[in-house]
Amino acid sequence: MPAENSSPGAVHRLTVLGAGVMGSGIAALAAGHGIAVSLIDPDRRRLDEAPARIAHQIRTARLMGALPDGTGPVAVLTGPSLAGLMTADQAAPTAVIEAVTEDADAKAEVLADVSALVVPGTPIISNTSAIPIDELARAAARPADLIGTHFMNPPCLIRTVEVIRGTHTSPSTLDALRSLLTALRREAIVVDDAPGFVTSRILHPMINDAVRVVAAGTASADSVDRLMQGCLGHPTGPLRTADLIGLDNLVDSLRVLHSRTGDERSRPCDLLLEMVRNGHLGRKSGRGFYDYEGEHA
């Protein structure tokens, strides 16, 4: 007979910092697997919108058979600050995932704050698509507790997670993250640290090239995606993928890659920059390379 505390929710208590698309998605993944989760964001509007977004993602994942049978979703606690949550008679988190915007300074500030608050040995997980973990570790009080993940959007539906081991990441931190991802039924693939790691280093310059093809008038976005799907086996096509990532997030990631590698393929192309300036950010804004009729991811 299993022990009383053998359920994932009894073993893991997760805090997610950032209630944007990825933060809400990671919170939905945890809640849908019965894991206690708190979502923190100082932006009241994003925090107010998060429960409906999380509920929608859990419903979708349930309909697609992506959540375990017999596990009801747990309520997601929300708050404007981790310090406030930890002083409100809440149990300390067993892991913290930082999922703020893809900006090195913003992430460093959050990581410095959280590493001063949590118990030493608590894994601090930066969800990043391109920023090197060793670079972020300079802001952490204990670099050994810091590790990277690159969850793909939507986290509830994509089961593989890129895990980035920094130079200073301790074996116990890696083991704790593996345990959390196992409880979330995710497959962890561990890579060493580098700008963009594996997935973004390959995918994002390729998407940038696809945008250049559209900008040159060689083919429409739909034609590019259909060719990449039908001829090369890409499941959604690079431009639908860009809309799902968020064109602003894609630009931020490309800028990180360009500044840290010097690869000109990673310099965001003019059409991409223009679309972001015009607020056409992809699914989350209702319009990107495709129209989504007010649908928000």
The whole-angstrom separation of Cα 265 and Cα 203 is 11
Check 150, 204, 234, 258 and give the catalytic one.
Answer: 150
d(CA 201, CA 153): 17
User: What are the Cα distances from residue 35, in Å, to 3, 130, 136?
Assistant: 16, 27, 27
Residue in 142, 137, 161 with CA at minimum distance from that of residue 151: 161
Determine whether 168 is an active site residue. no
Q: Residue 146: enclosing H or E segment and its boundaries?
A: strand 146-150
Query: Rounded to an integer, what distance in angstroms lies between the CA atom of residue 263 and that of residue 254?
Result: 10
Distance CA 269, CA 209 (A): 8
CA distance 246 to 276: 9
| Catalytic annotation, residues | 150
